[in-house]
Amino acid sequence: MSSSAHFNADIFKRRRAEFMKRMVGGVAVIPAQSMRLRNGDVYFEYRQDSDFFYLTGFEEPGSLAILTPGHAEHKFVLFVPPRDKTMEIWNGRRAGPEGAKSVYGADAAFAIEEIEKVLPDYVKNNKVLYVHLGDDDEFEKRVMGWLNKVRAMKRQGHNAPTELHDPSEILHEMRLIKNDDDLGFMRAAGKLGSAGHRAAMAATRPGMFEYQVQAEFEYACKKGGSQRLGYPSIVASGDNANILHYHENNMVCKDGDLILMDAGCEVAMYTSDITRCWPVNGKFSAAQKEVYEWVLKAQLASIDKCRPGVPFMDVHWKSVEVLTEGMVAMGLLKGDPKKIIADQKQWDEDVKNKKKDPKNDKAPKSYREFYMHNTSHWLGMDVHDVGVYRYGEKWRELAPGCVLTVEPGIYIAAERDDVPAKYKGIGVRIEDDVLVTKGDPEVLTKDAPKTVSEIEAVMAAGARELVGSR
């Protein structure tokens, strides 16, 4: 019944069991994603909500799940679109309440239309209601309606919940620490995304549009078995690489420029997140290679930091250290790298404590001129995945099962007048997906060519193939 080739009912059953084990009792209400209008009567491509999918594996829009560990028989209840011959002919197959039980393992299932009548019975006499609020006004109104319905049962001897908990606290902690089920999908997404990058490199020629390079990536991913991308691909040639969220992808790739491609694909709702840079003409110039090698050195050093017990932000500071050294070596910055970093940290501290005002006081010139983002984020079902980064002042320590990106870069905009001319317009970022293990870090995206010689070899082989096919 499921459209996903990766559907395995046991995985979701295990997740629900763990989630309910971590609840304090009570009842959790987890809504599915709804359809969103794109234009006219056409909807955006549908993707299920990550939390909902994580617990149910159910992909139909407008559904809702209830988890209630204290219930004698119905610990997992699904509300789903009902079977409807006409609707199914027009809009696609539905599992219906029967399928929700037989395929998806619900202990009870109802047509979504019955929710107002049925849901209050599951909520009543539970002290705690788990529900995530704050994202969707419409949904919040419905939750308040259900609560009021339960409150109205008071004189029949039923009590309404008095405590609201956010299920994210449990759910996002579970999603952050990947188990073998999750990692199987993440490794597959890493492999496919890497193959996509390799295919795009091999196909790149001067004169192609950026979106044509993008097409090579996306074709390879889908052909290999990925249903969709993890996020809109960034394909930025030349100076476009210095626009961090460049998304137009509509310029011509010029001989002598670099291409930066930040693109990843999904497997079973888990995504990869990969950035590679390569020369349009297949050969790095001396200046491009210089910048590239510094970014690569920083990235490898940061990947090596991805070990249990290391505070999340130390991965970033390792990159900053190597990149700043590189910026001084290339003449982008002047002075002692350690002092440059210390001065920047002092400035940040002073701004935070209102001792300095960024509007009036002059910030020190530092690595941040050329490296303005952080090095890592969690990765999983969401490209910027869920999970706590810090507790107050203390950064979370990495632990086995954490997956994070490592993506340092150096960006030298063409318009700058304070850098050696040969570097102008060069923007480089290198990004891999790294699993923290008890031993060495595991790079899930290691198949994407990364060294200068590997990249040049892939491009040369691609060029030969193209000539051969003519």
Rounded CA-CA distance 107/100 in Å is 9
Q: Contacts with Mn ion: how many residues (CB under 5 A)?
A: 2
**Does the active-site annotation cover 132?**
no
Site string for Mn ion, 227-256 (x = CB under 5 A): ------------------------------
Please identify which residue in 203, 405, 430, 459 interacts with Mn ion, judged by CB under 5 A.
405
**376 binds Mn ion, rule: CB under 5 A:** no
- Report DSSP state, residue 241: G
Which of 182, 273 has the CB closer to Mn ion?
273
**Does the active-site annotation cover 172?**
no
Asked if 236 and 211 count as a contact pair (C-beta separation under 8 A), the reply is no
E strand intervals along 388-444: 390-391, 394-395, 403-406, 409-412, 426-429, 432-435, 442-443
- In the complex, the smallest distance separating the C-beta of residue 83 from Mn ion, rounded to whole angstroms, is 41
What does residue 28 show for φ and ψ, rounded to 5 degrees? -110, 135
- In the complex, the smallest distance separating the C-beta of residue 431 from Mn ion, rounded to whole angstroms, is 5
Catalytic residue (choose from 104, 130, 246, 411): 411
- In the complex, the smallest distance separating the C-beta of residue 377 from Mn ion, rounded to whole angstroms, is 6
**Does the active-site annotation cover 245?**
yes
**Does the active-site annotation cover 51?**
no
SS3 assignment, position 317: helix
* Alpha-carbon torsion angle 439, 445, 451, 454, nearest 10: 120
Which of 379, 458 has the CB closer to Mn ion?
379
- In the complex, the smallest distance separating the C-beta of residue 308 from Mn ion, rounded to whole angstroms, is 22
Site string for Mn ion, 34-73 (x = CB under 5 A): ----------------------------------------
What does residue 394 show for φ and ψ, rounded to 5 degrees? -100, 125
Asked if 254 and 427 count as a contact pair (C-beta separation under 8 A), the reply is no
**Does the active-site annotation cover 255?**
no
**Does the active-site annotation cover 18?**
no
Question: 109 forms bridges with which residues in the sheet?
Answer: 78
- Closest Cα to residue 185, out of 26, 381, 52, 329? 381
Rounded CA-CA distance 464/93 in Å is 46
Please identify which residue in 182, 257, 273, 325 interacts with Mn ion, judged by CB under 5 A.
273
- In the complex, the smallest distance separating the C-beta of residue 383 from Mn ion, rounded to whole angstroms, is 7
Which of 30, 274 has the CB closer to Mn ion?
274
Which of 124, 450 has the CB closer to Mn ion?
450
The radius of gyration of the chain from alpha carbons, rounded to an integer in Å, stands at 25
**Does the active-site annotation cover 377?**
yes
Tokens 């078995």 locate to: 225
Catalytic residue numbers read 41, 245, 262, 273, 373, 377, 384, 407, 411, 429, 431
In the complex, which residues of this chain contact Mn ion (CB under 5 A)?
273, 405
